[in-house]
Amino acid sequence: MRRPAKLATAAFFGAVATFSSSEVFAYCSEPSAPSCASRFGEFDDEWEFDRCKREMESYKDDVERFIGCNNDEAEAAITKARDDNENSTSEYNDAVEAFNRRARGG
């Protein structure tokens, strides 16, 4: 009886990144610019100017938090993809070893 050819270990699993966004990603809420920034005309008074300036400063902080959140999500996705790839590679290698043992008759 002809024996099946020995399977080679596939290293390509590490190069393929598949992950589910629902499992990894939290929701980062993108902030909106304050409406006072894009209104037409000059500010009516100092109070309106100061209020809009505070809104712009708050907007800046919100944008920085949003960027940080997106960066955290990206890092989590990369970590999960690496872990998934390592697990898939390990499972594949185990299956190859089991196949080869069976092909050798043992």
Report the residue count for the chain. Answer: 106
Q: Looking at residue 97, what is its pLDDT?
A: 96
Alpha-carbon distance of 99 to 17, in angstroms, equals: 26
CB proximity list for 75: less than 8 A, separation 6 or greater: none
Location of structure tokens 């960066």: 71
CB 8 within 8 A of CB 97: no
Q: Looking at residue 26, what is its pLDDT?
A: 61
Alpha-carbon distance of 82 to 90, in angstroms, equals: 12
Is 38 exposed, middle or buried, given 0-12, 13-18 or 19+ CB atoms closer than 10 A? Answer: exposed
Q: For each successive 10 residues of the chain (106 residues), what is the average pLDDT?
A: 45 36 67 95 96 98 97 96 97 97 90
- Which is nearest to 28 in space by CA: 71, 76, 78? 71
